[in-house]
Amino acid sequence: MPTFLFDKIIFGPVKSRRLGVSLGINLLPTNIKVCSFDCIYCECGRNPKKYEEKAVLPSRAEVQQKLREKLEEMKADNLLPDVITFAGNGEPTLHSEFAGIIDDTIELRDLLSPKARIAVLSNATMIHKKEVFRALLKIEDNIQKLDSAFEETIKLLDCPNKNFSLQKTVEQLTLFQGKVIIQTLFVKGSYKGETVDNTTDKEISTWIELLKKIKPSQVMIYTIARDTPIDTLEKVTIDELNAIAKRLEDAGFRVQVSG
């Protein structure tokens, strides 16, 4: 049940299950979560019902300065990260200066930590914006969420804002022409009296068909690892994840499994 928020703009480095030694960048406020989804499994908790205080996002200049300082420190200690990851307290692409921040990050990475990849963990709700789409094409790991091929499942699991359309999201994802990694979290349980399970045969077969349209360079599958705001959710076992991975591999996808 307890969840947490990142209290800094730059956090870590942490050993990420999926990415290696990761230096995190949080473009959202440090005191509240801001997201266009409200996933029932989100480690940052549910979205506030009402924002008591104004959500203050860090400026582009502030992010650049903090990242420079941290990379200089890590370089001096000879402990540079494998990856610089945009994640944090919500959806990073909601930041109005996202594209410029990506340009600054590429410049600092090239200067101070040239071997590090740049990753963005996103829910794909802003990829219709040209500047966001173009920025995501400049980085190495453009990781976009697709938890199901059924809109009703996404509505139950991810609680997207009212503008969400699965069909439009998939159309946008195909425009990356393969320069995208799809991330899918598998979970079981119940929520508000409804069964939650995106691992059924029907879910997996239909999701694989959608992935064939999107043609991602990789598919990352995982399950909950820490506390979730809803306590009626269960982890999916590593055997179940491996069985899903096998189906993906048989369909020709490169897969990463994190149990």
Instruction: Please give the residue ranges that form the binding site for ligand SF4 (CB under 6 A).
Output: 35, 37-39, 42, 44, 90-91, 123, 158
Closer of 109 and 229 to ligand SF4 (Cβ): 229
How many CB atoms lie under 10 A from the CB of residue 126? 19
What does the alpha-carbon distance between residue 34 and residue 158 come to, in Å, rounded to a whole number?
Answer: 14
Q: What are the phi and psi torsion angles at 75 (to 5°)?
A: -65, -45
Closer of 185 and 257 to ligand SF4 (Cβ): 185
Closer of 71 and 173 to ligand SF4 (Cβ): 173
To ligand SF4, the closest distance from the beta carbon of 47 in angstroms equals 7
To ligand SF4, the closest distance from the beta carbon of 77 in angstroms equals 30
Q: Given CA atoms 209, 214, 218, 222 in this order, what sign does their dihedral have?
A: negative
58: left (phi over 0), alpha (psi -120 to 50) or beta: beta
Closer of 38 and 103 to ligand SF4 (Cβ): 38
Helices (H), 41-142: 60-76, 98-112, 130-137
Closer of 42 and 208 to ligand SF4 (Cβ): 42
To ligand SF4, the closest distance from the beta carbon of 149 in angstroms equals 17
Count the helix, strand and coil residues of the chain and give each as a percent rounded to the nearest 5: 35, 20, 45
To ligand SF4, the closest distance from the beta carbon of 28 in angstroms equals 9
To ligand SF4, the closest distance from the beta carbon of 74 in angstroms equals 25
What does the alpha-carbon distance between residue 116 and residue 114 come to, in Å, rounded to a whole number?
Answer: 6
To ligand SF4, the closest distance from the beta carbon of 72 in angstroms equals 29
Closer of 65 and 258 to ligand SF4 (Cβ): 258
How many CB atoms lie under 10 A from the CB of residue 135? 21
Q: Which residue is associated with the tokens 């230096």?
A: 23
What does the alpha-carbon distance between residue 200 and residue 191 come to, in Å, rounded to a whole number?
Answer: 17
Q: What are the phi and psi torsion angles at 188 (to 5°)?
A: -130, 165
How many CB atoms lie under 10 A from the CB of residue 51? 11
The DSSP-derived string for 111-126 is: HH-TT-EEEEEE-STT
Closer of 164 and 207 to ligand SF4 (Cβ): 164
To ligand SF4, the closest distance from the beta carbon of 76 in angstroms equals 32
